[in-house]
């Protein structure tokens, strides 16, 4: 096994000798708790309706895995019919976006 080489990056070497300092870490912006929540997409409404009703205790990360597995199991013919079923979820997403815009306008005025 080859021995590890020492890290000789110019930034670290100069910083060690008192030369150029490392860039400061970015400070994370504090999120306003009163800010309106972002709107949900049609996919989230779909996943909430389909998967949450079948699996009430499912975690958020598991939803994507389940939807991916369901999508992979569909044939091309079924995938086309699924796209036709998007309309109600798109309407919900548009309504949620309108809600968000309304809340955002009220929030920025305040």
Tell me the per-residue pLDDT of 27-84, one tens digit each, with 9 for 90 and over: 888 888 888 899 988 877 877 777 767 777 777 788 778 877 876 776 777 667 766 7
What's residue 12's pLDDT?
Answer: 54
- pTM as predicted: 0.57
Q: Are 93 and 39 in contact (CB under 8 A)?
A: yes
Q: How far apart are CA 4 and CA 2, in angstroms?
A: 6
pLDDT in tens, 8-34: 555 555 555 666 677 888 888 888 888
47 CB-contact burial (10 Å; exposed 0-12 / middle 13-18 / buried 19+)? buried
The residue-averaged pLDDT of 95-100 equals 96
Q: How far apart are CA 48 and CA 71, in angstroms?
A: 16
pLDDT at 105 over 80: yes
Q: How far apart are CA 89 and CA 86, in angstroms?
A: 5
């Amino acid at each position: 096994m080859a021995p590890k080489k020492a890290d000789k990056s110019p930034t670290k070497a100069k910083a060690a000798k008192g030369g150029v300092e490392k860039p400061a870490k970015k400070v994370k912006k504090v999120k306003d708790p009163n800010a309106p929540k972002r709107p949900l997409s049609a996919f989230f409404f779909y996943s909430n309706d389909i998967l949450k009703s079948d699996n009430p205790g499912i975690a958020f990360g598991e939803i994507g895995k389940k939807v991916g597995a369901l999508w992979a199991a569909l044939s091309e013919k079924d995938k086309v019919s699924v796209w036709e079923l998007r309309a109600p979820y798109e309407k919900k997403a548009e309504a949620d976006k309108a809600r968000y815009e309304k809340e955002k306008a009220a929030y920025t005025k305040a």
